[in-house]
A and B are shown apart, each in its own frame.
Chain A
Amino acid sequence: MTIDRLPGRGSQWRDAGLRGFSGLMAAFCGLSGIVLAAMIAAGLASGAYSHLTGANVDWTKGKAETSVTLRSSLNKTICSPMPNGGAKCQKSTDGISLSEAAPSFFGSLVAATPGFALVYGLLQATLCFVGLASGAYLHRATVSRLKKFAVAGLIFLFANPIAGVLGRLAAYLTYHVIRVASGKDGFAWFGNFERTYEGVNDILVPIYAVTLTIIALVMVRASRIAEDHAQIV
C-alpha cells in the first residue's frame, strides 16, 4: 500500500536529439523564410519596375538545378468608350502612369498575399522550433505557433492558385474606383499578376515531414503525462 514515485521514463539522449534537431530545423525554417521574403520583395520590385517603364524583366541567377528567376512584363489592355455605346480596346506595352501605379501595385500585393502567409508561417515555425529546442515542448506559446504555422500553410495551399486572379481583380476594381471618383471614362485591364513559387514544395515537404515527426515524439511525451494524470484520484 505505497505510492510509487514517478518512474524516470524520459531518456536524456532522446531529449537532446529532439532539441538539437529542433534547433537545426529552426535555422532551416528561418533561412527559408528570409529567402522567400527576399524573393517576394524582389518580385514586387521587378513588377513595379516593368509596370512603370513597360520594360520586361527577365533575370536568372544560378544553374539549372538551383536557380532564381524573376520575370515581369506589362500586359495591359486599355478600353475607351465609343459613341455607339461599345468600347474600343487595345493592348498597350507602354508604361503605366502614376495614377495607374497604385492599382497595379495593390494588385501585385494581393497576388503576393499567399507568399506573405507562407513567410509568416515559416517565421512561426522558426519560433516553434526554437521553443522545442529550448525544451518548451508543451508550452502554450509553442503549440500556438505550431497552429499558426499549419494555418499559414493551408492559406498558402488554397490561396496560391487563385492569387493571380484575385490580384487582377483587385487592380481592376481599384483602378475603376479611382477613374469613377475622378470622373473619367474607360478602363484598363492589367493581366500579369500570376506568381509561381517554384521549388517551394521541395522546401515545404521536408519541413512538414520533420514537423510531423517531432509532433509524434511530443505526443508520446504528452500521452505519458496524460496517463500519469489519469492515475491521480
Chain B
Amino acid sequence: MRVVVKLGVVMADRNVKSKDLAAHVGITEANLSLLKQGKVKGVRFETLEKICAYLDCEPGDILKIER
C-alpha cells in the first residue's frame, strides 16, 4: 500500500502550467516538479490547501492510495 501523487494528471486536466501553480502556492518549480513525481517526504497542509484552491479540487483528487 502506497500513496500515489496524481497532481500531474489533475494539472493536465485543467490545463494548468507548473510555473503558474508554483507561483500561486509559493514554492519553486523544482519542488513542484518533485511533488508531481512523488519524490518528496511529505506535503504541508498549507501547500495542499493552496494547490486545491488553485485547481478547484479535493486533496483526494491529488493523493491516492494504491493497493
Chain B residues whose CB sits within 8 angstroms of the CB of A229 once the complex forms? 41
Q: Which of A2, A6, A232 contacts B44 (CB 8 A)?
A: A232
A232 touches B42 (CB 8 A): yes
Chain B residues whose CB sits within 8 angstroms of the CB of A233 once the complex forms? 27, 31-32, 34-35, 40, 42-44, 47
Tell me what chain A mostly uses at the interface: helix, strand, loop, or mixed.
loop
Interface size on B, residues (CB 8 A): 21
Q: Which of A3, A6, A228, A232 contacts B38 (CB 8 A)?
A: A3
**Is B3 an interface residue when CB atoms closer than 8 A count as contact?**
yes
Tell me what chain B mostly uses at the interface: helix, strand, loop, or mixed.
mixed
Q: What are 8 of the A-B contact pairs (CB < 8 Å)? A: A2-B66, A3-B40, A4-B2, A6-B41, A231-B42, A232-B40, A233-B27, A233-B47
New A-B contacts (19) at CB < 8 Å, excluding given A3-B40, A233-B40, A233-B43: A1-B38, A2-B4, A3-B41, A3-B42, A4-B2, A4-B38, A5-B2, A6-B41, A231-B34, A231-B40, A231-B41, A232-B42, A232-B43, A233-B27, A233-B31, A233-B32, A233-B35, A233-B42, A233-B47
B residues at A contact (CB < 8 Å)? 2-6, 8, 27, 31-32, 34-38, 40-44, 47, 66
